[in-house]
Chain A
Amino acid sequence: MTTTSLRLRAGLVSIVLLAAFLGIWHLATRSAGPTTAMSPEYAKLMGLTATQGKSAMPGPLDVGAKLWEHLRRPFYDNGPNDKGLGIQLGYSIARVGMGYLLAVLVAIPLGFLIGMSPLLSKALDPFIQVLKPISPLAWMPLALYTIKDSSISAIFVIFICSIWPMLLNTVFGVASVRKEWINVARTLEVGTLRRAFTVILPAAAPTILTGMRISIGIAWLVIVAAEMLVGGTGIGYFVWNEWNNLSITNVIIAILLIGVVGMLLDQILARFTRMVTFPE
C-alpha cells in the first residue's frame, strides 16, 4: 500500500465524516412547524422560535449563508462596536503576538540561565510550579486593578500564561544537553558564551520550540476568554457581542474561525520546529 493511496483514503473518510455530521446537524435542527395557534397580531411580535417552532440552534445552511456574508466583506467598519471579522481577528492576532513575543523575550533567556545553573533551577522551581497552573482569567481582575488599562491587561494575561511552557521547556532542554558535548566543548576551551550559542542552543532548540508551540496554543486559547471579558475589539468580543444578541449562528462561525486560526498558528510553529530538528 503506497502512502498516496492512504492519504486519499483518509481524505475520503474525512469527507464522509463531515457529510454525516452536517446531515445529522441539519436533521436535528429542522423546524417543527407552527407550534400553537396564535393570533396574527401576536405572532407578528414574536420570534421564529416561538411561532414556527424553529430550533433555537441554527442549521448548517443558516451558518453557511451567514459565513458567506461575513467572508464577502471581512473588513467593514460600522463604528467602535461593530467591525468585520477580518478586523476582529487582526486585533486578536496582534494582541496574541504582543503578549507572546514578550513572553519569548523573557522566557528563553531566563530559561537558559536557570537551565545552566542547577542551583537557580532548584531555587525557582517551587515558584514556577505554583504560578504555572493558574487559570488565565484568574489573573484578569488583578491585572485590570493594577494596570488600569484593559488592552494592556489582556496582553499581560497572554504574557503570563504563555510564559510557563516556554520557560520550563527551555530549562529542560538546556539542562538535558548531553554531557559529552559540553565536555568536548570544555576540552576545546570554548568560552561560556560561545558554548551557549554553538553547542547548547542548537541542541536544546527542538525542545525550546516545542515549548513555544504549546505556548502559542495557550495564548490563542486565552485571548478569546480575555476579550470576552474586556470587550471592545477582537474575536472574543465578537463572540460576546453575538451572544448578547443570542445569535448562535455567528457564535458558531466565530468558533470555526478561532479553530482555523489556531491551527494555522500551530502549523507555523510546527514548521519552525522541523527546521531546527536534526537527526542524531
Chain B
Amino acid sequence: MSIFDNPFDPDRSLRAGCACGQHQSAAEHEQATALRCDPVESEEKRYEGVVASAVMRAMFPQDLARRAFLKSVGASTALAALSQFFPLQTATEVFAQAGTPEKKDLKVGFIPITCATPIIMAAPLGFYSKHGLNVDVVKTAGWAVVRDKTINKEYDAAHMLAPMPLAISLGLGSNPVPFAVPAIENINGQGITLAMKHKDKRDPKDWKGMKFAIPFDYSMHNYLLRYYLAEHGIDPDTDVQLRSVPPPEMVANLRADNIDGFLAPDNICQRAIYDGVGFMHLLSKEIWDGHPCCSFAASREFITTAPNSFAALTRAIVDATAYASKAENRKQIAEAIAPANYINAPVTVLEQVLTGTYADGLGGVKTDAKRVDFDPFPWQSFAVWMLTQMKRWGQIKGDVDYKAVAEQVYLATDTRKLMTEMGLTPPTSAYKSFAVMGKTFDPAKPEDYVASFKIKKAS
C-alpha cells in the first residue's frame, strides 16, 4: 500500500490488486496513473494528510488492528484522539518547512517561451515565496547565454532545453560541468510551423531542399524534427538545411522568407499564426505524445553547497508544475506570464497555447487540451532517448554509458522522494517505454535502438 492511501478509510480494500480494480496489482495501477500528478485541494491539507497517516500507521502498524479501531470509533474521532496526545499541527508545520535554505535570494534564468511556464509563474503566483525563497527570474537572450551564465554561477538554476544538461555534463559544446535535472518543465507544447506558401505541401516527402529553423543544436526540437523527417525518408543532414535560430527571430525570418518553416517552442508557433505568416502543420504531440521539452537544471555544485535551497526550489517548481497541469488554472497563468517582465507576448497567444483551443492558421479553430502539459517527473528513460539521438546524429562520438549518464543527470530518485514528501504520487520506476511515431523505444536496449534507424549520420 502507498503512503497516499487514506488510512482513516475503514472500507479500503486490503486485497492484493489495485484501488480502482482495473489493474492486476497496486504497482501496475500506479504505473498507469503515474503520468498524472493531481495535487490535492490545498497544500496544508495535503501535508496534514501525509503526516496524519504516518502517525496513524506508526501507532497501528497492523492494517487489521487499525481498521478495527477506526470501525469502532470513526475516523474523525480517531483523528481528534490522535491529536490529543500527538501535536499533529506542529508536526505538519515542521514537515512542510523542511530545512531552512542556505541561500534565500536566488537568480533563475529563463528563455521567454511557454515551456518555462512553471519557472516564470512561480514568481508572480508566489510559489517561490511559499517555499521561503526570494527568487528573481531573469530573462535571457539565448540558450548559449543561459548555459554560460549558469556555468558562471550568475544564475543559481535555470530553464534549459531537456538535452542541454546532458550535453553540458558530457562536455558537448562547452567544458564538461556536472549538471542535474530535478524536474522536467513541460511535456508536448511544440509544433512544426510552415510558411503560408507551403499550405498545399503537407507531405514531408516534398520537403527536399527546404530550410528549417530549430532553437538550438541540443534540443528536443532538433531531435524531433530530424526524427520526423527521417521517418519520411528525408535525410536531415543532406536533404534539407537545419539552422539554429533564436526563437523570436524565427517569426521574422519566416516573414522575410529566409526559412520555410520551423519546429519551435510554443508561443512562437502560435505567434507566427497570430501574425498571419505561418500555419500549424503538426503539433509535436503527434510525433511523440508526452515528450519532454524543457527542464529545470542546476549545477551539481549548487546542489551540494546549498542542498536546502535546491530542495526548496525544486519543491516550488514541482508545486507550480502541478498547478499548471490543471486545465482550469491555465487562463489565469496565461495572464500572469504575459507582461513585459515575463514572456512579453499578447495574452491571446499564450491563452491559445495553454488552453489548447487555437487557430491553426488555415482558417480553422482546433482544440487539443493536451497541446502542452506539465509533469515534473524526470524520467531517466527520456534522458536515454535523448542520448540515443545525440549518438544517432553524431553529436556523441564513440561509446556512451547511457544508463550511467541518465542516472547521474536526471535526478529521478531525489525528485520522487520530494514529491512523496509533498503528498504527490510519483511513479515508482524511473524508466518507462514509450512510442515515437509508432516505434516503441525500449530504454534497456539503447544500442539496438540507435542501430535500428536507416537514416543516421555515418560515424
Contacts and interface: CB of A to CB of B under 8 A. Distances in A.
Interface in A115-134: none
Interface residues of B, number: 39
Contacts of A210: none
B12 to A, nearest CB: 47
Contacts of B438: none
B274 interface: yes
B141 interface: yes
A81 B138 contact: yes
A82 interface: yes
Interface in A122-161: 144-145, 148-150
Contact of A46 (B136, B140, B249, B276): B276
A9 B44 CA distance: 76
Contacts of B273: 46, 50
A243 B352 CA distance: 21
Given A39-B363, A144-B148, A49 B276 contact: yes
A79 interface: yes
B276 A243 contact: no
A-side interface mostly: loop
A230 B145 contact: yes
A230 B138 CA distance: 11
Interface string B246-268: 00110110010000000000000
Contact of B275 (A39, A49, A80, A228): A49
B365 A229 contact: no
B63 interface: no
A23 B249 CA distance: 29
A246 interface: yes
A56 B112 contact: no
A56 B359 contact: no
Contacts of A56: 255, 275
Contacts of A150: 145, 149, 152, 154
Contacts of B274: 45-47, 50
Interface in B202-235: none
A42 interface: yes
Nearest to B364: A42
Contact of B139 (A47, A149, A231): A231
B149 A245 contact: no
B345 interface: yes
Contacts of A82: 339-341, 344
A47 B138 contact: no
A240 B141 contact: yes
B312 to A, nearest CB: 20
B342 interface: yes
Contacts of B352: 45
Contacts of A46: 273-274, 276, 359
A240 B112 CA distance: 11
B348 interface: yes
B132 interface: no
Contact of A47 (B112, B153, B154, B275): B275
B148 A245 contact: no
Interface in B118-160: 123, 136-141, 145, 148-149, 152-154
A45 B148 contact: no
A246 B112 contact: no
Contacts of A217: none
Nearest to B341: A82
B138 A245 contact: no
A242 B112 CA distance: 11
Interface string A61-96: 000000000000000001111100000000000000
A82 B136 CA distance: 12
Contacts of A243: 248-249
A50 B272 CA distance: 10
B101 interface: no
A74 to B, nearest CB: 15
B271 interface: yes
A126 B137 CA distance: 46
A145 B136 CA distance: 23
The 4 closest A-B pairs by CB, nearest first: A50-B276, A82-B341, A45-B359, A148-B152
Interface of B: 112, 123, 136-141, 145, 148-149, 152-154, 248-249, 251-252, 255, 271, 273-276, 339-342, 344-346, 348, 352, 357-359, 363-365
Given A56-B275, A244-B112, A245-B345, 16 more contacts: A39-B363, A41-B365, A42-B359, A45-B358, A46-B359, A47-B274, A78-B340, A79-B123, A79-B136, A150-B154, A231-B145, A244-B344, A245-B346, A246-B248, A246-B251, A246-B271
16 contacts: A39-B365, A47-B275, A50-B273, A50-B274, A79-B123, A80-B341, A81-B138, A81-B340, A145-B148, A150-B154, A241-B344, A243-B249, A244-B112, A245-B340, A246-B248, A246-B271
